[in-house]
Structure 1
Amino acid sequence: MSIDGDPGSRVSGRTVSGVLTLVVGMAALTIVLGGVHAVSGLIGPVFLALVLTVTVHPIRRRLEKTRLPEWAVSLTMLLSAYLLIVLMTLALIVSVAQLAALLPKYTADITSTIEETLTGLEQLGVDQAQIDKVVQALDPSQLVGLVGSLLAGALGALTDVFFLFTVLLFMAFDTNGARENLRILGSRFGDLVEALAHFARGTRTYMAVAAIFGLIVAVIDGAALYAIGVPGAFVWAVLAFVTNFIPNIGFVIGLVPPAVIALLEDGPGLMLAVIAIYCVVNFVIQSIIQPRIVGESVGLSPTLTFLSLVFWAWLLGPVGALLAVPLSLLMKALLVEADPRLSWALPLISGHPSPRDDGDDEPRG
């Protein structure tokens, strides 16, 4: 006797089909993520070029109001992006070079600190094998070698810069055509085009605010560190600027190196002074003022921002950490905002109630 008409069989079949679809989808996602991770060296610079193009786009809009020809507008936009890259690359190379020259001076201090730490571990009864592992991990020669590898990596990044220059060249001269195509597509895919426009606005706001406040933090930190006598003030100022683009943990990353150098230079007193300066300047600006100004343009809750930082850093490396917020904004635009049926998820992503629901609890007349 056939049981095709049995409701329980149909429900069971749909359940199995749904589970299989989920498993296949997860497998496909894993393969895609593995592929993206494998070519992260290409995807990172390409997306960075896109972010830079979006960031300097207001220059194009202003120049288009003049009588400059289209090629001159695109060239000016391209040179503006090039200038940003060159200045940032030079600052990074100089700072890493200074760090490489600075760290060997503290080899003896590092060795002394390690010995004091090992003595304390022995007094606490720590096993000798574990102490040996600590010694190997904190070997000053390895620390110096790490700085050397950082310098080599910064110099090697010039290769990516040349690739970035090439990608920017094409994007700058394709911007006007892409904008016209989006206008045409807007009549058929209005939600998608609007989502991409929201991504562009949010990215532009985030990058501009992060750069402005990063520069403010860098100048204040550099001047304060120089005034209290912490070596390598320029290095730590550049580090503070770069880490301002890393959400949530950028403040900590920028604080640890100068605090350690201050400890080696003049003891706990100078280290506490560095920590106090960073807490007052960096924490107030990066954690209180800056998020308020960025406001709703980002639309990502703090928890989701942190998780996106971890995810993109794993997937794309350091570039993913620096561009975690723009990358998440793009994913939100493509996967959520482009589909009106998923609008219910936007308050969950942003961590704020939907404006359309603000009056739901109010009595209606």
Structure 2
Amino acid sequence: MTEQRRIPRAPVVLLCAAGAVVTLAGVREAGSIIGPVLLALVLVLAVAPIRARLERRGAPGWTLVAAPLALVLLLLLSMVAVLALSAAQLTTLASTYGQQFDQFVVQVQQFAARLGIGNQQVNQVIRTLDPGKVFGIISGFASGLLGVFSSLVIIVIVVLAMCLDARAISSVLSSRLAREHSELVTALGHFAHNTRRYLVVSTVFGLVCSVLDVIALWVLDVPLPILWGVLALFTNYVPNVGFVIGLIPPALLGLLQGGPKTMVLVIVCYIAINFVVQSLVQPKFLGDAVGLSTTVTMMSLLLWAFVLGPLGALLAIPLSLLARALLVDSDPEGRWVAALISGKVVEDGRDRKPARPS
């Protein structure tokens, strides 16, 4: 009996890496099409329980398509309206506080001169706090998302097609043919469930944080508190760095409006709200739905933001869960990879934390 020759690991790794680079480059080039399609997929998964509930209650067939589609359209139109208003207000705000910022620069230079610090060093630091640049970056983020949502025709057509095919796809996934590929079907089921759970929990706690942020900004008399609350809600979906993105504009406005004291109070309020809601309470409800370690989550954010822009940053977690389902969870021999990317030992299809060393 002859032994099968195994391919050396190094060529396999190199070929997989090359294939990933080519695939991601293709996705980036076709991002104007693939981005809206992936957004449509995530939205359809988010409203899928509505279709399932209507089907269990024996609702007419047309309602199984119309109800999820109407809800998705309402979400899309609301996002477009909010993003358009936010981009317009951010553009106006950048020019409104130019004079206050110039006065602040003069005060800082005078204070630095009394301390013996040259204007050149001060100017280098102040350039990084230029409100025009900061608001321009945030406005570019909103405009980039608005550009994706403006492809409403593509998104609506894809959502409609997915809603029409939802029943057929469910039948296929429960058929005998699918049972022969049970690992893949199970992985896709976990992806859909975990994505819905992540979106629901993140949205609920994002709204809680946004409301508390708006109240704090209103009490501190920071301009446009509702706008910054909406920004905090959107950036809540951006893992790891979203909180910082949502904090910078109101903190800078607090500095220009009420001085350093107001800026410090804004930062303290944001950190306190974020720590209590998103660091202490939210993980208890989210549990292991994400299944990605902190390092993998950060790398996913950088990767998908590079490939799909602002939309990739917002959908970094769902897209990473999809990639994990297709490439890792569907392969019985890939459990060791699942353990690496989740930081937990995978045993019998379940994740468990590694035992502490004795």
Instruction: Please classify the TM superposition score into its range, dividing by the shorter chain length.
Output: 0.7 to 0.9
In 1, Cα distance between equivalents of 2:354 and 2:296:
26
Asked if 1:91 is matched to 2:82, the reply is yes
Q: Which blocks of at least 5 consecutive residues in structure 1 are unaligned?
A: 1-10
Any conservation in 2 of the 1:99–1:232 contact (CA below 8 Å)?
A: no
What do residues 160-183 of structure 1 show as CA deviations (whole Å, max 9, x unaligned)? 233212211111111111111122
In 2, the alpha carbon distance for the partners of 1:43 and 1:272 equals 42
Separation in structure 1 between the aligned mates of residue 130 and residue 248 of structure 2, nearest angstrom: 18
Residue 74 in structure 1 maps to residue 65 in structure 2: yes
Give the whole-Å Cα distance in 2 for the aligned partners of 1:264 and 1:21. 56
Is 1:256–2:248 an aligned residue pair? yes
In structure 2, the CA distance between the partners of 1:323 and 1:144, relative to structure 1 (3 Å rule), is: closer
Determine which of 112, 135, 141 is the counterpart of 2:103. 112
Paired amino acid for 1:243: T
* Structure exhibiting the larger radius of gyration computed from Cα positions: 1
Q: What's 1:168 paired with? A: 159
* Amino acid corresponding to residue 53 of structure 1 in structure 2: V
* Correspondent of 2:235 among 239, 243, 253: 243
TM-score by length of 1: 0.84
Q: CA RMSD in A?
A: 3.1
Change (3 A) 1:171 1:232: same
* C-alpha separation in 2, matches of 1:296 and 1:311: 22
Deviation at 1:157, TM superposition (A): 4.4
| TM-score, length basis structure 2 | 0.86
Tell me what 1:322 maps to. 314
- Structure 2 unaligned blocks of 5 or more: none
1:64 aligns with 2:55: yes
Aligned with 1:99: secondary structure? helix
Q: Which one is further off, 303-312 or 155-164?
A: 155-164
Q: Which one of the candidate residues 297, 312, 326 is aligned to 1:305? A: 297
Once the two structures are overlaid, the 10-residue window that deviates more, 155-164 or 139-148, is 139-148
2:173 to 182, 191, 200: 182
The separation in 1 between residues aligned to 2:273 and 2:130, in whole angstroms, is 33
Structure 1 residues 241 and 143, CA gap change in structure 2 (3 angstroms): closer
Alignment of 1:171-320 (within 5 A): 171-184=162-175, 185-320=177-312
Please tell me the residue identity of whatever aligns with 1:347.
A
Which is further off, 239-248 or 116-125?
116-125
Residue identity matched to 2:342:
S
Q: Distance in 2 between matches of 1:328 and 1:31?
A: 17
Q: 1:221 to 1:207 in 2, by over 3 A?
A: same
Pick from 296, 320, 340 the counterpart of residue 348 of structure 1: 340
* Structure 1 residue 68: Cα displacement: 1.9
Partner secondary structure for residue 179 of structure 2? coil
The whole-number CA distance in structure 2 between the counterparts of 1:152 and 1:331 is: 27
Give the drift of 1:40: 1.6
Distance 2:336 2:148 in 1: 42
CA distance in structure 1 between the aligned counterparts of 2:134 and 2:271, rounded to whole angstroms: 27
User: Partner residue of 2:44?
Assistant: 53
Counterpart for residue 30 of structure 2: 39
Aligned partners of 2:131 and 2:252 also within 8 Å: no
Aligned pairs, number: 346
Q: Which stretch of structure 1 is more off in the superposition, 352-361 or 198-207?
A: 352-361
Q: What is the alpha-carbon distance in structure 1 between the residues aligned to residue 143 and residue 249 of structure 2?
A: 19
Quick one: distance in 2 between partners of 1:135 and 1:40? Answer: 36
Distance in 1, matches of 2:166 and 2:143, equals: 34
Structure 1 residues 358 and 258: CA distance shift in structure 2, 3 A: closer
The superposition leaves residues 212-251 of structure 1 with CA deviations (integer Å, 9 ceiling, x where unpaired) of 1111111111122112211010110000100111111111
The letter of the residue matching 1:336 is: V
Contact 1:93 1:154 in 2 (8 A): no
Residue identity matched to 2:295: T
| Shift of residue 145, structure 1, vs aligned partner | 6.5
What's the counterpart of residue 27 of structure 1? Answer: 18
